[in-house]
Amino acid sequence: MIVQIKKDITSDEQQQIFEVISQAGYSPKLIKTQLAGYIIGTGTGGFDIRRIGSLSGVSDIHRVTDAFKLVSRMWKVKDTAIDLGNGLSIGRDAFTIMAGPCAVEGPSQTLKTAIHLQDNGLRIMRGGVFKPRSSPYSFRGAGMEGLKEMAEICHKHEIKIVTEVMELSQIDQMYDYVDIFQVGARNSQNFNLLDALGKVDKPVLLKRGMSGTIDELLQSAEYIFSGGNEKIILCERGIRTHEHAYRNTLDLNAVPILKEKSHLPVIVDPSHGIGIRRFVEPMALAAVMAGADGIILEVHHSPEKAFSDGQQTLSFEEAKKLYLKANQTYQFLKNL
Ligand code: PEP
Ligand code: MN
């Protein structure tokens, strides 16, 4: 169960709610986020919803049987919109395109990308400075210095930054330079990292693990939410299957399922999802048709020279065509 509590709840009222929940055989846990307060009751069996609902200090109560609760549609029917400030938000009535290189390579690349984004009306740049690479000999990112340079350029061009955080100790260092913390596929179930991001007052873009199920992704999101951070964006980026004709199997089935199960925005990463440049466009458009709230794309001024993932990275010209088509597809879907 989820009990939403009033902002001005007293400790006596809270104590009383805890007692009644415990008497019903449920374990109560208090959760405070940036936006609200909740008491989550976990357990099985029935309880009298009116008995708890009528206690003072309670503003609402919901029966939620999902393993994940606060991210579930079972209590919050309306789509969540994540406010990024400056009139920018993700989810609900917005369609968002984020684009940028796989890895941040240096100021000249960032500047070219910023101008490209601005010319095309995009307001969020992706780009990793801490790169999870399968081989330790591959380029592993420009680190904090790269992020600081990226932030300076993006700030001047009024572009927000989404970039991957790989470990706990990076959160504080990165905080001032990041608008959205990305949790990569490899860290999708790094529960310590998720806990720590629950304490952060900035949105988190949470990618699905390579072999993660939809429910596991939602439970990972629940870690962040129940840690105190409601600002979560889910990302389908392909899963590993027996199929080897492409890098990953982009599971677009996940989009409508996630949107039905959760009120959080869902975006799709077709670049990593298929891993082949010429097929990024059709899969991006398919993601829009599947109901995604946005897409995240790898783009580069010269993909052949990209330090990483060039094979799935669009040139600026290719990307420009896709932005137009994706926005048109979104409008088409809305008007159907
Ligand atoms: C990325 O987006 O830079 C990335 C490494 O993706 P993923 O975690 O989905 O592999
Ligand atoms: Mn990449």
Please provide the DSSP assignment of 93-117 as one string. T--EEEEE-SB---HHHHHHHHHHH
Is 185 close to ligand 1, i.e. is its CB under 6 Å away? Answer: yes
Is 300 close to ligand 1, i.e. is its CB under 6 Å away? Answer: no
Nearest CA to ligand 1 atom 9: 185
Which ligand is closest in space to the CA of residue 133? 1
Is 296 close to ligand 1, i.e. is its CB under 6 Å away? Answer: no
Please write the tens of the pLDDT for every residue from 255-310: 999 999 999 999 999 999 999 999 999 999 999 999 999 999 999 999 999 999 99
Distances (CA, A) of 25 to 31, 43, 46, 81: 19, 7, 9, 35
Q: How many CB atoms lie within 10 A of CB 169?
A: 10
Is 160 close to ligand 1, i.e. is its CB under 6 Å away? Answer: no
Is 208 close to ligand 1, i.e. is its CB under 6 Å away? Answer: no
Please write the tens of the pLDDT for every residue from 111-145: 999 999 999 999 999 999 999 999 999 999 999 99
Q: What is the pTM of this model?
A: 0.98
Nearest CA to ligand 1 atom 4: 184
Looking at residue 227, its pLDDT comes to 98
Q: Give start-end residues of each CATH 3.20.20.70 domain in the chain.
A: 82-334
Nearest CA to ligand 1 atom 10: 185
Q: For 82-334, give the CATH class.
A: alpha beta
- pLDDT above 90: residue 45: no
Averaged pLDDT of the chain: 97
Is 128 close to ligand 1, i.e. is its CB under 6 Å away? Answer: yes
Q: Give start-end residues of each CATH 3.30.70 domain in the chain.
A: 2-62
Mean pLDDT, range 190-214, rounded to an integer = 98
**What's the CA gap between 68 and 252, in Å, rounded?**
21
- pLDDT above 90: residue 26: yes
Is 140 close to ligand 1, i.e. is its CB under 6 Å away? Answer: no
Looking at residue 274, its pLDDT comes to 98
Distance 332 CA to ligand 1 centre (A): 29
**How big, in percent rounded to 5, are the helix, strand and coil portions of the chain?**
40, 20, 40
Distance 68 CA to ligand 2 centre (A): 29
102 Cα nearest atom in ligand 1: 3
Q: Specify the CATH number of the domain 2-62.
A: 3.30.70
Q: Helix or strand or coil: residue 205?
A: strand
Question: Do residues 295 and 268 make contact, with C-beta atoms less than 8 angstroms apart?
Answer: yes
Is 141 close to ligand 1, i.e. is its CB under 6 Å away? Answer: no
**What's the CA gap between 176 and 167, in Å, rounded?**
16
- pLDDT above 90: residue 102: yes
**What's the CA gap between 194 and 225, in Å, rounded?**
9
Number of helical H runs and strand E runs in the chain: 11, 14
Is 237 close to ligand 1, i.e. is its CB under 6 Å away? Answer: yes
Nearest CA to ligand 1 atom 3: 102
* 141: enclosing H helix or E strand: none
Distance 43 CA to ligand 2 centre (A): 41
Looking at residue 156, its pLDDT comes to 98
Nearest CA to ligand 1 atom 6: 184
**What's the CA gap between 106 and 65, in Å, rounded?**
48
**What's the CA gap between 218 and 215, in Å, rounded?**
5
- pLDDT above 90: residue 106: yes
